[in-house]
Structure 1
Amino acid sequence: MDAFFVLSIMRDISNGLSYIHSQSFLGFHGRLTSRNCVVDDRWVVKLSDFGCNRFYATEKKRKTDYLWIAPELMRANFSLGTKAGDVYSFAIISSEVLTRRSPFDYENRQSGLDELIYMIKKGGTIPVRPSLSDVEILDLNPAVLHLIRDC
C-alpha cells in the first residue's frame, strides 16, 4: 500500500471517531476494532457497531477483542469504553494497516495470547505496544509513526 492509501484509511477512521466523539449523542464508540471498519464501494472506511455497548456489556468477549482495548480500561473492568479508549483502539487499527498484520502480530508471537493480554493489561514503565519498526512504506511521513505511538 502506498502512503496516500494508508493515510486515507486512517483519516476516514479518525473522521468517524471525531463525529461520534463530538456530534453524536453516544460520545464514544467503545468497541472499535478493525472488524468494525468497513469499506464502501468508493473505498471510504465507515465505522460500524457503535451505540450497542449496553447490549454487549454482559456478553463475554473473545480473547482477541482485548487486543484493541486500552490497558486502563482492562484494569478497571470498564466494559462500556471511553473516548480515550477509542483513541487507543484507533492506534491499534492504524498499526494493523501499516504493518498488514494482526494487532501485536499475535499469531506469530512465541508467547501465547493470554500472556500478551496479561502484559498489555499489567502495563509498566514501558507499555506493550505493537511494533512499527518494520513498516516499509517509502513515502510515509515519520510523524505518522510518532502519532500512532503517542495514541
Structure 2
Amino acid sequence: MTSPETATRRRLPRGLVGVVVVSLLLALYGWAVVGRGIAMIRTGEAALIAIGIGALLLPLVVLVVIALEFRLATRVQRMADELAAAGRLPVDDLPRSPGGRIDRAAADAAFTAYREAVTQDPGSWERWYHLAFAYDAAGDRRRARGALRKASELY
C-alpha cells in the first residue's frame, strides 16, 4: 500500500540517472578538450591556433546538441503525461513472435492507419505522436524521431 506522500511524489524517468552520468562524463571530456584548445591557441603558431579554435568549437556544438535532445525528451514526456491523463496513450497491442519481435505485417497495417490520421489532420501533435510510435513499431527509428520532433513542434 502506498502512502499519500508517495502517491503525490512524481517518479523520476527511468533513464535519467544514465543520462546525467553520461552528460557529466561528456562535460569532463569537454573541459579537457577546451583546455587543450586554449593551450594550442597560446602557442602562437597559425596551424595550432586553427586547431585550437576548432577544439573550442567542438564542445559548443556538442552542448547545443545535448540541450536540444534534453528539450525534446522533456517535451515528449510532457506529451506522454498529458495523453496518459486523458487515457489516449498509444497502446502496444501488436502481435509478437515467441522471441518478442513485433509482427512486421501487423506493424505495417497499424502504421497505415496512423499515417492516414496525420494526413487528415497534419496540425495535430497527438496524431504525430502516435505516428512516431507506429514508425518505431515498424522498425523505422529515424522517421519515428522525426515524427516526435514534429509532434514536439506542434505541442
TM-score, structure 1 as length reference: 0.29
Which has the higher relative contact order, 1 or 2, with Cα contacts under 8 A spaced 6 or more apart? 1
Q: Greater helix share, 1 or 2?
A: 2
Higher gyration radius (CA): 2
| TM-score using structure 2 length | 0.28
